[in-house]
Structure 1
Amino acid sequence: MQFHLDGFHPGDPRYSDPQDRVVPPPLKRPLPQQVDVMIVGCGPAGLNLAAQLSQFGSISTCIVDQKDDRLLVGQADGIACRTMEMFQAYEFADQIQQEAYWVNETAFWKPDAEHPGQISRSSKIQDVEDDLSEFPHVIINQARVHDHFLEVMRQSPGKVEPHYSRRLVDLQVDTEAEDYPVTLTFERAVNYSQYGKEQEIVKARYVVGCDGARSSVRTLIGRELVGDSINQAWGVMDVLAVTDFPDIRLKAAIHSNNEGNMLIIPREGGYMVRLYIELDKLKQDERISRDEITADYLISAANRIMQPYTVEVKEVAWWSVYEIGQRLTTAFDDSEEGRLPRVFLAGDACHTHSPKAGQGLNTSVNDTWNLGWKLAHVLTGRANPELLSTYSAERQHVAQMLINFDREFSTMFSAKPKSADNPDGVDPAEFQKYFVRFGRYTAGTSIRYNPSSLVGSGEHQSLATGQTTGMRFHSAPAVRLADARPVQLGHCVKADARWHIFAFAGQQPPMSDQCRVRALCDFLQNEHNSPLKRFTPAGADVDSVIDLHAMFQQYHRDIDVDQIHPLLQPLKGRYGLRDYEKVFCTDHSGAGDFYALRGIDREQGCLIIVRPDQYIAEILPLDDYAGLSRFFEGVLTRP
């Protein structure tokens, strides 16, 4: 899509008239007196959590923000492949792809060997390795991501709408109370009464602070950000510009000899571009003097760095300055020895770092992607409250990895190029190697959760060498049996807090007496220790808690639909309609054989248990019914 040609206008670019993009603000409503979950902060982490919880009409969710309306111009813009996979679970990834800029290549520029005062291109590389994900690395205004989350929230059973103009002033946890132990006091930024600012009090079962680096929630529960700054200031601006720089529509890392460094990120729409511009080094404990820095100052700095090229800015859509620092909170929740958590932190409230590697939004939404289904399990009675302790255990480790990576990446990017005059500098070629080496990390696909009650030991990893226990389920092409539709198998996992069992058949004839998938279905349907029988509530659809899928190696036309076990074609819903979308075959058209791409044992097959957040919990032999039952006994509770 091309847009922004005649100037930047926020909102949905599919509306040609910018006035039609204006979304009316929500009605001014009082806060509820009691809620299951109170979310403080309407950033990406908070909205992602609200979108997950909105899938449950039985969970009361409230989300508040100090701002007086939704975000229009966003700060974060990079969306990693792994985050796109998460967006697919909400079914808006395709819309993001259509609108966004795709980062296909990255260009590297360094001082020219013959004219050191000028820059020259050293190389171009592929940004994301082949088959890392079915989705690309994209660039899009953070506000557009917010819009999609808001739409999910409005359309879902919970019908969640934000409450704006609320400032949290107090939070108290009654450790003796069982129901609604957290009391929050908010101040309204509007509607002053004759006695002063209006206050509202809300009681909640759980609270999640997604309120940024200066988090009030974090302060009120006695946690703090710990870390340091590398005393480096950067400017950032989104501009509509005319330039002779040849790689303006590629992601480009520029190291100049003496004028500093710059990162160019093309923006969606075909015309806008983001410039990250290095400013002067700060002294110890020095802060940016924001009053002395203007948009014109940043434009001049960019032109000095880009010599012999120039950039003529026609319009500045947004700009800001910031200081690099890596900080991590002392804890991700308010738990203490002997007491389970009631208040959680997510996103910038618990980790801050530089934005140049594009990890801020991506790490933040994956914080609440981890927490959301766990809260839903506890509040709907699927799991005990002890499950919530796994949030901090899993995500604090990930955040520490992010801080370590960002510290090294920022230092390398900000360093002067190595030369005869600066022997201690960084060789731009080494920076490029570092960029490539950590490509999977920046794409979000290298995160691995450690063994726990939610992640198996990996004892049977050899059955699926390309699907690693503790890492996200790596999708690949498949063909749905009933309608012959080519699909991505991983797209079965939606943002509905269900568990998934993927049964990959061996080489036995499908649904024959020798077929282990058929035997598995008999066990799950009939045996008393079947996880489906033990954990599915009475009267609910058989797949409401654990969803079973099967894949066969045969060509889809060689299997008749009427051969399939009834458990893989369950009768569901009010009218008992048959679900035909649980059985798949490998794609024989050349798009890719799932078994070959993901290292599935062709002879034995296997079971892969996938968590609600798309991470692999366990890999088991197809006939390990005891292991299957034991795993779910350790996580779920009987209704």
Structure 2
Amino acid sequence: MQYHTHGFVPGDPDVSAAAPGHRRAGDPLPATIDVLIAGSGPAGLCLAAQLAREPLIRTMVVEPKLGPMEKGQADGISVRSMEMFQAFGFAEKVMRESMWINETTFWGAGQSTGLERVARVQDVPDGISEMPHVLLNQARVHDMFMDVMRNSPTKLEPDYGLKVVDLQVDPDASEYPVTVTLEHTDPVRLGQISTLRANYVVGCDGARSTVRKAIGGTLHGDAAHHAWGVMDLLATTDFPDWRMKSFVRSQDTGILMVLPREGGHLVRLYVELEALGEHERVADRGMGAQDIIAKAQRIFHPFTLDVKDVVWWSIYEIGHRLTDKFDDVPAGEVATRFPRVMLAGDACHTHSPKAGQGMNVSMGDTFNLGWKLVSVLTGRADASLLHTYSGERRAAAQSLVEFDHKWARVVGSTAPDTVTDGLPRVAREFVNNLPFTCGLTVQYEPGALTGTPESQHLATGFDIGKRFHSAPVVRLADARPMHLGHCIDADARFRVLLFAPASDQGTAQGPVAALCHWLETDPASPVRRHTAPGEDVDAVIDVRAVFQQGFRALDCTAMPALLRPKVGRLGLCDYEKVFCADLSPEKDIFTMRGIDRTQGCVVIVRPDQYVGHILPLDARNALAEYFAAILRVRA
């Protein structure tokens, strides 16, 4: 972590000095704003945390509730989301507070009566990520995003007691084309109306999204017509796997899932309740917390369940729905307009909570969108970049809805549970689906942001279009063991990672030094073309290198100047750009990720941690062309 770049900084390094000119939550509403975010759930706060770090961007978050969430709703955090949290700087805090899910057990009807454990499987496959799968109250995730916001230069906080009730887009206006109508929900100003104009609006306002309706969007899909209860509780029981994630299927009473929560005692239950009629809604049944408890006790029999305290509960109907498009531009006008209003999270896709993907995919939406908005609003990229958001994330959401549709029916099936390879069907399907539930199967199609696979063979373990799969390295300057992916912060910068051939030691005669010299000095290089005058050389494209030798075999001072750049107000040397392989056989990044040891390669990592392209070290034109399709010339 670097924080003395512009001079000595006392105190907490996570707290930035306040940038001038930014309003505070509760101040009079502005006439104009750069980005208005509707909703302070995980999608909205993930976006806000990215925008808050940029002093040039004025952001406002509006939330109808009168204060932050305290309990309930989502709790599952996939390993992919944990990797994303690392970029924001709070993954370690989440790991300390949360409940780690290492094993999942499956219970079914015994040979005579009652229940018995029929299978147990590892929850996160070995080697799939350095991060665990954890459970944590959604409200704590909100807290951590809001800490990032409060500590950022803009000191951003949500404006509670305000909701979007309408918006209008003027496609001919070049500035602040979205007129937003806000209604106050605070009892002091209940029903009062205010308006402001925004450059961009992002609807993170849930399944009943006003923003979606205002741009003519509709959720399409189906419902399973089955009620499920969810409850956070404190209880005593003789069920052996109370602190394991468990699927429990009784002989003829129903199904439930046990999800142990953080804090050592809290547990969440998902309990199958009743089938609904074709046109019946959950509310029509009038069910409550006692119905959930009674059904859970029947399913657990002969084990006992003595509920001491109900922390939160809800009853819901499974639905799988997706909207046509995640922005306001009609299909026939993509060539002449760019998005001004975008949707994220439940506003554009809904699904059951059984796969634990809702909060994770919602944050994935805005982690994809955030760097694109930053790039456009700071002048680094043309607004046409925003077209890529709907295409990339709708495809990801479509895969989720299809998976969730299938998985919900597996979990809720009443058919006899066939055993194959020693596992009942639900356990077998669970194992097969682990890469998906870990959040690691999203792969963006080739396009402006994702290259074609001609050079994929140079690094077979970094799939183009998938998230960058981190691996251990050792930092040269201070011999610190670390994960390479942990140098990717949520700061809207691209990373260009140079993996050196075996013979290269970083000296002037080697291919890494030759490429670095071109990147630093040639007017055709993307570093020169897309970095504005006065910016640090790594302000837009951060170049780093990984060598095959051990750290004691290389000379830090012999590295190319681009890998020892002078940065910040004082022109201090950045010593953290060069890494070496960990020579332990099981930790060698070149072996782990299938990197060609003879040729080496270039791996471009997008700001959202996805692999944008893989190229040979001498493919300078292709490297320049990749960035030219995304970034503006600013030299």
Output the TM-score relative to the length of structure 1: 0.93
Q: Residue in 2 aligned with 1:198?
A: 192
In the alignment, is the contact (CA less than 8 A) between 2:66 and 2:160 conserved in 1?
Answer: yes
Q: Residue in 2 aligned with 1:106?
A: 104
Q: Residue in 1 aligned with 2:605?
A: 610
Q: What is the one-letter code of the residue matched to 1:278?
A: E
Q: Shift of residue 428 of structure 1?
A: 7.4
Please, which of 396, 399, 416 is the counterpart of residue 398 of structure 1? 396
SS of 1:416's equivalent in the other structure is coil
1:533-612 to 2 correspondence within 5 Å?
533-589=528-584, 592-612=587-607
Q: 1:27 to 1:617 in 2, by over 3 A?
A: closer
In the alignment, is the contact (CA less than 8 A) between 1:456 and 1:617 conserved in 2?
Answer: yes
1:416 aligns with 2:404: no
SS of 1:400's equivalent in the other structure is helix
Q: Shift of residue 305 of structure 1?
A: 0.5
Q: Residue in 2 aligned with 1:210?
A: 204
Q: How far apart in 2 are the matches of 1:216 and 1:158?
A: 27
Q: Residue in 2 aligned with 1:236?
A: 230
Q: How far apart in 1 are the matches of 2:337 and 2:220?
A: 24
Q: How far apart in 2 are the matches of 1:561 and 1:384?
A: 38
Q: Residue in 2 aligned with 1:455?
A: 450
In the alignment, is the contact (CA less than 8 A) between 1:54 and 1:61 conserved in 2?
Answer: yes
1:281 aligns with 2:278: no
Q: Shift of residue 256 of structure 1?
A: 1.2
Q: Residue in 1 aligned with 2:8?
A: none
Q: Shift of residue 261 of structure 1?
A: 0.3
Q: Shift of residue 616 of structure 1?
A: 0.5
Q: Shift of residue 64 of structure 1?
A: 0.4
Q: Shift of residue 31 of structure 1?
A: 2.1
Q: Shift of residue 190 of structure 1?
A: 2.5
1:150-189 to 2 correspondence within 5 Å?
150-189=146-185
Q: How far apart in 2 are the matches of 1:198 and 1:282?
A: 39
1:503 aligns with 2:501: no
Q: Residue in 2 aligned with 1:12?
A: none
1:149 aligns with 2:145: yes
Q: How far apart in 1 are the matches of 2:25 and 2:375?
A: 31
Count of residue pairs brought into register by the alignment: 604
Task: Please list the CA deviations of residues 57-104 of structure 1 after superposition, one character each: whole Å capped at 9, or x if unmatched.
Answer: 001100000000011113100000000000000000000000000000
Q: How far apart in 1 are the matches of 2:284 and 2:266?
A: 24
SS of 1:289's equivalent in the other structure is helix
Q: How far apart in 2 are the matches of 1:638 and 1:617?
A: 19
Q: Residue in 2 aligned with 1:130?
A: 126
Please, which of 616, 625, 636 is the counterpart of residue 620 of structure 2? 625
Q: How far apart in 2 are the matches of 1:573 and 1:494?
A: 17
Q: Residue in 2 aligned with 1:52?
A: 50
Long gaps (5+) in structure 1: 1-25
Task: Please list the CA deviations of residues 36-60 of structure 1 after superposition, one character each: whole Å capped at 9, or x if unmatched.
Answer: 1000000000000000111110011
1:435 aligns with 2:430: yes
Q: What is the one-letter code of the residue matched to 1:438?
A: N
Q: Residue in 1 aligned with 2:92?
A: 94
Task: Please list the CA deviations of residues 426-482 of structure 1 after superposition, one character each: whole Å capped at 9, or x if unmatched.
Answer: x97122111111100110011100000100011100000000000011000000000
1:139 aligns with 2:139: no
Q: Shift of residue 591 of structure 1?
A: 5.6
Task: Please list the CA deviations of residues 359-407 of structure 1 after superposition, one character each: whole Å capped at 9, or x if unmatched.
Answer: 0000000000111111111111111111000000001111111110000
Q: Residue in 1 aligned with 2:313?
A: 319
In the alignment, is the contact (CA less than 8 A) between 2:496 and 2:541 conserved in 1?
Answer: yes
Q: What is the one-letter code of the residue matched to 1:374?
A: K
Q: Residue in 2 aligned with 1:486?
A: 481
Q: Residue in 1 aligned with 2:60?
A: 62
Q: How far apart in 1 are the matches of 2:161 and 2:521?
A: 54
Q: Residue in 1 aligned with 2:304?
A: 310
In the alignment, is the contact (CA less than 8 A) between 1:501 and 1:609 conserved in 2?
Answer: yes
Q: Residue in 2 aligned with 1:371?
A: 369
SS of 2:273's equivalent in the other structure is strand
In the alignment, is the contact (CA less than 8 A) between 2:38 and 2:62 conserved in 1?
Answer: yes
Please, which of 217, 225, 247 is the counterpart of residue 253 of structure 1? 247
Q: How far apart in 1 are the matches of 2:574 and 2:251?
A: 63
Q: 1:370 to 1:585 in 2, by over 3 A?
A: same
Provide the identity percentage.
Answer: 51
SS of 1:219's equivalent in the other structure is helix
Q: How far apart in 1 are the matches of 2:216 and 2:170?
A: 15
In the alignment, is the contact (CA less than 8 A) between 1:191 and 1:198 conserved in 2?
Answer: no
Q: Shift of residue 415 of structure 1?
A: 1.1
In the alignment, is the contact (CA less than 8 A) between 1:255 and 1:428 conserved in 2?
Answer: no
Q: How far apart in 1 are the matches of 2:281 and 2:227?
A: 9
Q: What is the one-letter code of the residue matched to 1:124?
A: R
SS of 2:159's equivalent in the other structure is coil
Q: What is the one-letter code of the residue matched to 1:111?
A: A
Q: How far apart in 2 are the matches of 1:335 and 1:191?
A: 36
SS of 1:475's equivalent in the other structure is coil
Long gaps (5+) in structure 2: 1-23
Q: What is the one-letter code of the residue matched to 1:122?
A: V
Q: Residue in 2 aligned with 1:13?
A: none
1:469 aligns with 2:467: no
Q: Shift of residue 114 of structure 1?
A: 2.4
SS of 1:85's equivalent in the other structure is helix
SS of 1:232's equivalent in the other structure is strand
Q: How far apart in 2 are the matches of 1:428 and 1:513?
A: 58
In the alignment, is the contact (CA less than 8 A) between 2:248 and 2:257 conserved in 1?
Answer: yes
Q: How far apart in 2 are the matches of 1:64 and 1:524?
A: 43
Task: Please list the CA deviations of residues 480-536 of structure 1 after superposition, one character each: whole Å capped at 9, or x if unmatched.
Answer: 000000010001110000000000000113023542111111111111101111111
Q: Shift of residue 112 of structure 1?
A: 1.0
Q: Shift of residue 255 of structure 1?
A: 1.1
Task: Please list the CA deviations of residues 155-207 of structure 1 after superposition, one character each: whole Å capped at 9, or x if unmatched.
Answer: 112221110101212201111111000000111113656xx732211100000
1:352-367 to 2 correspondence within 5 Å?
352-367=350-365
In the alignment, is the contact (CA less than 8 A) between 1:153 and 1:160 conserved in 2?
Answer: yes
Q: How far apart in 2 are the matches of 1:119 and 1:437?
A: 24
In the alignment, is the contact (CA less than 8 A) between 2:497 and 2:602 conserved in 1?
Answer: yes
In the alignment, is the contact (CA less than 8 A) between 2:233 and 2:311 conserved in 1?
Answer: yes
In the alignment, is the contact (CA less than 8 A) between 1:477 and 1:591 conserved in 2?
Answer: no
SS of 1:468's equivalent in the other structure is coil
SS of 2:453's equivalent in the other structure is coil
In the alignment, is the contact (CA less than 8 A) between 1:256 and 1:417 conserved in 2?
Answer: no
Q: How far apart in 1 are the matches of 2:384 and 2:472?
A: 37
Output the TM-score relative to the length of structure 2: 0.93
Q: Residue in 2 aligned with 1:15?
A: none
SS of 1:460's equivalent in the other structure is helix
Q: What is the one-letter code of the residue matched to 1:617?
A: G
In the alignment, is the contact (CA less than 8 A) between 2:62 and 2:162 conserved in 1?
Answer: yes
Q: Residue in 2 aligned with 1:300?
A: 294
